[in-house]
Amino acid sequence: MKIPFSPPFINESVIQEVVDSLSSGWITTGPKVSRLENRMANWLGVDKALCVNSASAGMQLMLEWFGVGPGDEVIIPAYTYASTATAVLHCGAIPVMVDADPNSFELSINNVEKAIGPKTKAIIPVDIGGWPCNYDALFQLVNREDVQKLFTPQHPHQEKLGRILIMADAAHSIGSKYKGRPVGTLADLTVISLHAVKNITSAEGGVVLFHLPAPFQNEEEYRKNKIISQNGHSKNVHEKALNDGWRYDIVALGKKINMTDLGAAIALAQLDQWEEMQARRNEIFHQYAQALKSIKGIRLPQFADDLRQGNGHLFMIQLVDASAEIRDQLISEMKDLGIALNVHFVSLPQFTYFQSIGVQPENYPHAVQLSNSEVSLPIYPQLSDEQIQFLLKSLIFVLSKLGIG
Ligand SMILES: *Cc1c(COP(=O)(O)O)cnc(C)c1O
């Protein structure tokens, strides 16, 4: 039996919606991107949503919007995917990585606090595996009088906010909640990924959710960034086609990071089936948790607690006392049985590139240790009951063979 790690959810409705775009002759940014933006904003309870071609591009766009540049620092977890850091680097600023707490994949608020200095312009919390960070604690921190005093605004948007920006890397956490509030309403700006492996996809894509406090006008900031995302054109090609033909202006230094209608069609059709897709994910998550709970030596992910509700984007297991070799052996033996496991993530300080710019793994012992002991199980709505049973049976067998039981 073959169990791939994370195939995209493509059924007849998804195909129909894409075919509809193809037949309409309108394949790039147009009516479906607008529909997706409105739908995301309404669903997640924010003023505005901007669709772009990746979460990576969305994060970089918004850091630039906030005036983050050379000499500035942005605090990020060491335990994340590379683009949390590269978004900062592409602005010319320094990603200040913070170590994890022992035995937790979550952002360490204590370590964030220690990393704040006069150059800190933003914090990018990452909702790993769809599990929301502790946003109340983060906001308490950036609003604390001594922390606000440290903040040195150097750009009109920084002046206007008057404190460190919180921009969530919510690449994993579409639909998750914190204190009953959906991801999107938890940070000043939130960037969701619609990459092919995420819960909802547009093949490649990202959504920036605008939830900036007054006196910001989210509508206005959305409009400015929309224009930048389409090469600085005052109107996109669809608007031109609808309106007065060829004439347009270039009104800002743009980038080419717009989403296509073909991609938006996939995401719209999936959103129509969100309830069912999410319900199946939850069911699988609980089946895994139930079947594995008595195994000593592993730590299972949480699905919900008093504050939070995850979305089962990943099922992250920590092999608490095992070496990286044992973890690798587990992955390899499961692969021989036809089951693809994965690692989320190799921590950033372990990568050649980040080491080449001076990031030292010795300074991130917990992130490195967590990374070496992590393994993620396949979890997606298309998994059949037979596949789930086979996966669990195989996993329990291989774990016990490796001395974890
Ligand atoms: C997938 C992912 C991203 C990047 O998303 P793209 O849409 O592929 O740019 C960013 N951060 C995390 C944590 C991710 O897992």
pLDDT at 247: 85
* pLDDT 10s digits, 55-108: 999 999 999 999 999 999 999 999 999 999 999 999 999 999 999 999 999 999
The verdict on the CB of residue 81 being under 6 Å from ligand 1 is yes
Contact 259, 236 (CB under 8 A): no
Q: Which residues contact 201 (CB under 8 A, 6 or more apart)?
A: 8, 9, 194, 195, 266, 267, 270
Q: What is the token pair recorded at 257?
A: 């990071």
Mean pLDDT of 160-175: 98
* pLDDT 10s digits, 206-248: 999 999 999 999 999 999 999 999 999 987 777 777 776 788 8
pLDDT at 206: 98
Whole-angstrom distance, CA of residue 234 vs CA of residue 249: 5
Neighbouring-strand partners of residue 184: none
Quick one: the chain helix, strand, coil %, rounded to 5?
A: 45, 15, 40
Contact 326, 334 (CB under 8 A): no
Whole-angstrom distance, CA of residue 94 vs CA of residue 119: 10
| CB neighbours of residue 125 within 10 Å | 28
Whole-angstrom distance, CA of residue 278 vs CA of residue 311: 7
The verdict on the CB of residue 202 being under 6 Å from ligand 1 is no
Domains of the chain: 12-271 (3.40.640.10), 274-401 (3.90.1150.10)
pLDDT at 238: 77
pLDDT grade for 2, boundaries at 50, 70 and 90: very high
**How high does pLDDT run on average in the chain?**
97
Give 230's DSSP letter.
B
**Cα(193) to centroid(ligand 1), Å:** 6
Residue 194 CA, closest ligand 1 atom number:
7
pLDDT grade for 405, boundaries at 50, 70 and 90: confident
Residue 172 CA, closest ligand 1 atom number:
15
pLDDT at 41: 98
pLDDT at 284: 98
Residue type, 370: L
Calculate the alpha carbon distances from 204 to 30, 58, 171, 207, 293 in Å: 16, 12, 12, 11, 35
Mutate to test the pocket of ligand 1, among 126, 193, 347 (most ligand atoms within 8 A of CB): 193
Q: Answer whether residue 251 shows pLDDT above 90.
A: yes
Whole-angstrom distance, CA of residue 222 vs CA of residue 50: 7
Whole-angstrom distance, CA of residue 119 vs CA of residue 395: 47
Strands, DSSP E only, in 20-124? 48-52, 73-77, 94-98, 120-123
The verdict on the CB of residue 84 being under 6 Å from ligand 1 is yes
pLDDT at 239: 75
Q: Answer whether residue 45 shows pLDDT above 80.
A: yes
